Amino acid sequence: MAFKLPLKRKSDAQPATAPVWHPNFRNFERLPDTKVVRTTFFINLAAAAFASVLLIWVGVREFRIHSLTEQITEANKRIEANTRQNNEALRLSKTFADEEKKLNEAAAFVRTSISPAELLMQLGQTLPKEISIELLDLRTAAAPATSQTIALRGQSAGTPDEASGFASSYVELLRTHPRLAAAFESVELTSINRDARSGFLVFEVVMKIKGEGKGKKP
């Protein structure tokens, strides 16, 4: 009977070798990027796109600001021109209103029961030597001639008591004079004061004119 040695396994036939090993000294942060499209490209592209969008936004904003500034400047110019025209129109309107008021006052006074010339003549004829007239002022309300009044301001000479008596007597003379009584509804002494500079007594009389038809002589 033949004796056969057992066959060795393949793994047993090959000698065992040590595993391959060596230290890895690679610095991955410093190694070049070997990808087809590098990461820095996308970063730069994104940064450029953001910068472009920001630049466009700033440009549009500045354009709008410039456009609004021009519109405001043009509007201010129009406002200034219109303001000058409006002020001139207001000035002319006021001048016209003032002149119209004067004309209306004069026309209303002429239509009253006593004419300006006759009033001056009557005042001159009734004026005492102790009295001097400084001012005649026609005061007219916008409505009818019944609201017209004449303010007469004058001076009275003499001592305080004498001057006061002269002024009161003159007012009573104006109130009772037939022609003036027919032309005026009332004659009132409204103020009487001593003038320190001249030493005379200054007084003011208000005479209310009768309306049309009230003081006409038959």
- For residue range 76-104, list pLDDT tens digits in order: 888 888 888 888 888 888 888 888 877 77
pLDDT at 192 over 80: yes
How far apart, in whole angstroms, are the C-alpha atoms of residue 149 and residue 151? 7
Burial of residue 127 (CB within 10 Å: 0-12, 13-18, 19+) is: middle
> Which amino acid appears at position 113 of this protein?
S
Of 51-60, 95-104, 134-143, 197-206, which gets the smallest average pLDDT?
134-143
Residue 6: both structure tokens together: 């057992």
* 9-53 pLDDT tens trace: 555 555 555 555 666 666 666 666 555 556 677 788 888 888 888
Does domain 116-209 sit in CATH 1.10.3720.10?
no
The domain locations on the chain are 37-110, 116-209
pLDDT at 145 over 50: no
- Long-range (24+ apart) CB contacts under 8 A made by 192-195 are 192/164, 192/167, 194/160, 195/155
pLDDT at 4 over 60: no
Burial of residue 154 (CB within 10 Å: 0-12, 13-18, 19+) is: buried
pLDDT-derived band of residue 204, with 50, 70 and 90 as boundaries?
A: very high
Residue 166 to residues 27, 51, 217, Cα–Cα distance (Å): 127, 99, 30
Burial of residue 61 (CB within 10 Å: 0-12, 13-18, 19+) is: exposed
Burial of residue 150 (CB within 10 Å: 0-12, 13-18, 19+) is: buried
Read off the pTM.
0.46
Contacts of 212 (CB under 8 A, 6+ apart): 111, 112, 113, 145
% of the chain residues with pLDDT over 90: 6
- State the CB neighbour count (10 A cutoff) for residue 109: 18
pLDDT-derived band of residue 196, with 50, 70 and 90 as boundaries?
A: confident
Mean pLDDT of 164-190: 89
